[in-house]
């Protein structure tokens, strides 16, 4: 078996998880997304994570919207998805300068007005991993650097978010994200040693 092909496939799979978590962080779940999650491939993915997908109906969407707002928007006892808040206690600190440097290399699909939003950062990480999977050695350090600078902080955020979530769907998904980031830390450290 070709080790590079296996590594490339694993990298693309990791990029897919970053995209999923970006979507969950940036937007509330709507009927279309819930219906998508009911397709065979997504059901397999969520089953592997031991997460049950709610039924595709307005009641499910409403319950998930309320939970999303309670967890990420507030107004009180919520989990702000902004790196600067977690690291400095206020929005748009020096983190933005670092993000601006990465934005010169990677252009996200989402146009989020606050550049240190975790969803935007996860979307950028997915793109970085896809570029790395098909690139030469010159870009191999980019994922590790971006992870260290703009992803690692979110493991704590996902832990708090999971504890605040009241729906099984969000609770399970946010716990899975926290576990994924813990494994990513190991992956990034291992890759740095190689």
Residues 6+ apart with CB under 8 A from 74: 80
Q: Percent of the chain beyond pLDDT 90?
A: 65
Q: Which string of DSSP letters, residue by residue, matches the chain? A: --HHHHHHHHHHHHHHHHHHHHHHHHS---HHHHHHHTSHHHHHHHHHTT-PPPPSSHHHHHHHHHHHIIIII-SSS----BHHHHHHSSSS-THHHHHHHHHTT---SS--SSTTBHHHHHHHHHHHHHHHHTS-GGGTTHHHHHHHHHTTTHHHHHHHHHHH--SHHHHHHHHHHHHHHHHHHHHHHHHHH-
Check residue 93 and give its pLDDT: 74
- Confidence (pTM): 0.88
Q: Measured between alpha carbons, how far is 64 from 73 in angstroms, rounded to an integer?
A: 13
30-80 per-position pLDDT tens digit: 999 999 999 999 999 899 889 999 999 999 999 999 999 999 999 889 999
Check residue 6 and give its pLDDT: 42
What confidence tier does 191 reach under pLDDT thresholds 50, 70, 90? low
Check residue 90 and give its pLDDT: 80
Q: Please give the domain boundaries of the chain with CATH numbers for all domains.
A: 3-193 (1.10.3480.10)
Q: Measured between alpha carbons, how far is 173 from 169 in angstroms, rounded to an integer?
A: 6
93-134 per-position pLDDT tens digit: 788 889 989 988 887 777 767 889 999 999 999 999 988 766
Q: What residues does 180 pair with on adjacent strands?
A: none
């Amino acid at each position: 078996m070709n080790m590079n092909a296996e590594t490339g496939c694993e990298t693309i799979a990791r990029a897919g998880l970053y995209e999923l978590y970006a979507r969950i962080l940036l937007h509330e779940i709507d009927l279309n997304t819930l219906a998508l999650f009911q397709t065979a491939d997504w059901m397999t993915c969520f089953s592997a994570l031991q997460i049950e997908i709610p039924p595709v109906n307005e009641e499910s969407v409403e319950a998930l919207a309320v939970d999303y707002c309670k967890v990420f928007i507030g107004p009180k006892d919520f989990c702000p998805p902004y790196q600067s808040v977690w690291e400095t206690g206020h929005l748009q600190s020096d983190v933005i300068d670092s993000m601006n440097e990465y934005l010169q290399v990677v252009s996200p699909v989402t146009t989020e007005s606050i550049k240190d939003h975790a969803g935007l950062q996860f979307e950028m990480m997915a793109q970085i991993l896809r570029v790395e999977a098909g690139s030469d050695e010159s870009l191999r350090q980019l994922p590790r650097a971006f992870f260290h600078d703009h992803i690692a902080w979110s493991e704590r955020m996902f832990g708090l978010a999971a504890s605040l979530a009241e729906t099984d769907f969000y609770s399970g998904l946010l716990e899975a994200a926290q576990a994924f980031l813990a494994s990513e830390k190991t992956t990034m450290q291992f890759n740095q040693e190689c």
